[in-house]
Amino acid sequence: MAKPIVAIVGRPNVGKSTLFNKLAGKRIAIVEDTPGVTRDRIYADAEWLNKNFTIIDTGGIEPESEDIIISQMRRQAQIAIEMADVVIFVVDGKQGLTDSDNEVAQMLRKAQKAVILAVNKIDRKQLDDNIYEFYNLGLGDPIAISASQALGLGDLLDEVVARFPKYDEDDENDEYIRIAMVGRPNVGKSSLINRMLGEEKHIVSDIPGTTRDAVDSYLESQEGKFILVDTAGLRKKSKIKEQIERYSAVRTLAAIENADVCILMIDAEKGIAEQDEKIIGYAHELNKAIMVIVNKWDLIEKDDKTMNRFKNDLREKLGFLPYAQYLFISAKTGQRVNKVLGIAKECYNNYSKRIKTGILNDVISKAVMMKEPPVVGINRLKIYYVTQVGTKPPTFVFFVNNPALLHFSYERYLENQLRNNFDFGGTGIKLEFRERKE
């Protein structure tokens, strides 16, 4: 299930960034009493009633302004509205209803999105009556809030999560393995998906950045059912000049979070870059199943050792991903493309793997006998019991005498023992350590 996206919009200086910071739980957006301070979209994760979502702060919308900065901010806000599941429309309860508010409301009605009207700066009881004029916007019941004082935010968030798209627990998409194709622009993500689908569904161009959003394609094969997600290529932040690309980055990160398998695509001619490491590093932090595909292999002059040299170089640069699976292909010629889904399915199977508790404890007991935890001060870590508590990713909880005695090198040793005894190739695994009295 995709993480819902909530966009905060409104004309300048109504308190959008203050509200964003309160919902995000930290000061991210710059808050000043000057219209137009938030010129860029800023996004953060939030949670309410055990529901996780992404919130986006936008520059203020000035519908009639011709100022180039204001017009860019307006375009950004329009993009945010297009991609959002729910829109919080913030107005100023002290200043009252303005013509600009009516213009924004008209834009929101055309977008046909779930809209919640938040009347901000209602921080005194005598201001409560100020909300009634905002019924004239025709966007339903206004909710009185004070973002700076954190008043009314619970009621606001209750309405937000109530408007999230409803998903059936037996959603047929649960049968599908979600694969997110990530990488820098123009490495061939769309070309690979088109080759796998056997149709020209995705626009393929030599111009970087053709894919602006995360696009889903459904595919059934002998390996199983898959959803292939083509994401916009992520550039370095300093190179993200077109405003729309910043929203594409939000969608790409969301695609990684929602994926079962993440495939990092690399251009064989250009090699790996720092941005590739950051993209797949995000998937690694989430313990996703990971594949690395080197595309355009047909363009490389090679001998019988070229592939091994290239792979070893990648493994060294991606040292934090010793478990990743590698494949060298040409999306253009079709070379080895038929192996992509098979390897992705193997990664997914390991991502979903469950180990019986008895076998698991036998392996860990032997590992501890072979190598005891190091002494920290005068104490030593004791492992009483281990159990697997989840899959996707495989998650193991170790009950110990004191988690503070765990050294990172010993945690890595335990992970290696799990990997050596059980096939977790292609997937991250998660280890947790909890205190339990002997």
Q: For 11, list phi and psi in degrees, rounded to 5.
A: -70, 170
What whole-number distance in Å separates Cα of residue 195 and Cα of residue 297? 15
Triad 351, 356, 359: Cα angle to 5°: 115
What is the CB neighbour count within 10 angstroms for residue 49? 10
State which amino acid sits at residue 379.
N
CA quadruple 154, 155, 161, 164: dihedral, nearest 10 = -150
Residue 39: DSSP 8-state: -
Q: For 102, list phi and psi in degrees, rounded to 5.
A: -65, -35
Q: Cα separations (Å) of 149 from 22, 36, 144?
A: 9, 22, 12
| Binding-site entries | 10-17, 57-61, 120-123, 183-190, 230-234, 295-298
**Contact (CB, 8 A) for 315 and 322:** yes
What does the buried/exposed string (b/e) look like for 317-349 if buried means 16 or more CB atoms within 10 Å of the residue's CB? Answer: ebeebebbbbbbbbbbeeebbeebbebbbbbbb
Q: Cα separations (Å) of 438 from 288, 386, 419?
A: 34, 14, 27
Token duo for residue 267: 């251009």
**Contact (CB, 8 A) for 290 and 283:** yes
Residues linked to residue 118 through DSSP beta bridges, in sequence order: 90, 143
Peptide bond into 393 cis (omega under 30): yes
Handedness of CA 137, 143, 148, 153 (dihedral sign): negative
| Binding-site entries for GTP | 10-17, 57-61, 120-123, 183-190, 230-234, 295-298
